Amino acid sequence: MAKILVHLTHGPEHPTRAALAFLVARSAIDEGHSVSMFLAGDAVQLMRDAVLDNMTGLGTGELRTHFDAIVSGGGRFYLSGMSSKGRGVTDEDLRDKPAEFAMPNVLVQLSLEHDRMFTY
């Protein structure tokens, strides 16, 4: 199976687009693929529990449902460190999540290590 990277830059300001990226990642996992997600820009805010628990995209489902399926399927999250700092996302927001802060070079490395990359 393939290694899929989903790069997401849209956050709570675009709930349908953000949830769509999570839905695609979940769908890839459901098909047996390995998935990593790199969140940058406003997307880093999606790792806050309040956002995960309350955001639903129009026709793209609940963010928490997709997130839980991605985690259950072994998905991994990387958050832009600079975007996170600028938006006040902290270690506490990542507690108990398979997520870590990363610099832009990690996105480049991930893009080279994965077979396909989707950008939202």
For the stretch 47-90, pLDDT in tens is 999 999 999 999 999 999 999 999 999 999 999 999 999 999 99
Per-residue pLDDT band at 91 (split at 50, 70, 90): very high
pLDDT above 70 coverage of the chain, percent: 100
Could you tell me the pLDDT band of residue 40, with boundaries at 50, 70 and 90? very high
Find the CATH number of the domain harbouring 26. 3.40.1260.10
Look at the pTM and tell me if it is higher than 0.95.
yes
- The number of distinct structural domains making up the chain is 1
Average pLDDT over residues 15-31: 98
Instruction: Using a pLDDT cut of 90, give the percent of the chain over it.
Output: 100
For residues 105-109, average pLDDT: 98
Sign of dihedral through CA atoms 53, 55, 56, 62? negative
Q: What is the mean pLDDT of the chain?
A: 98
Residue the block writes with tokens 């991930």: 110
Arithmetic mean of pLDDT, 107-120? 98
**Which pairs with CB-CB distance under 8 Å and at least 24 residues apart come from 64-73?**
66/19, 66/22, 66/23, 66/25, 66/26, 67/22, 69/26, 69/29, 69/30, 70/22, 70/25, 70/26, 70/29, 70/35, 70/37, 71/97, 71/98, 73/26, 73/29, 73/30, 73/35
Q: Which domain holds residue 12?
A: 3-119
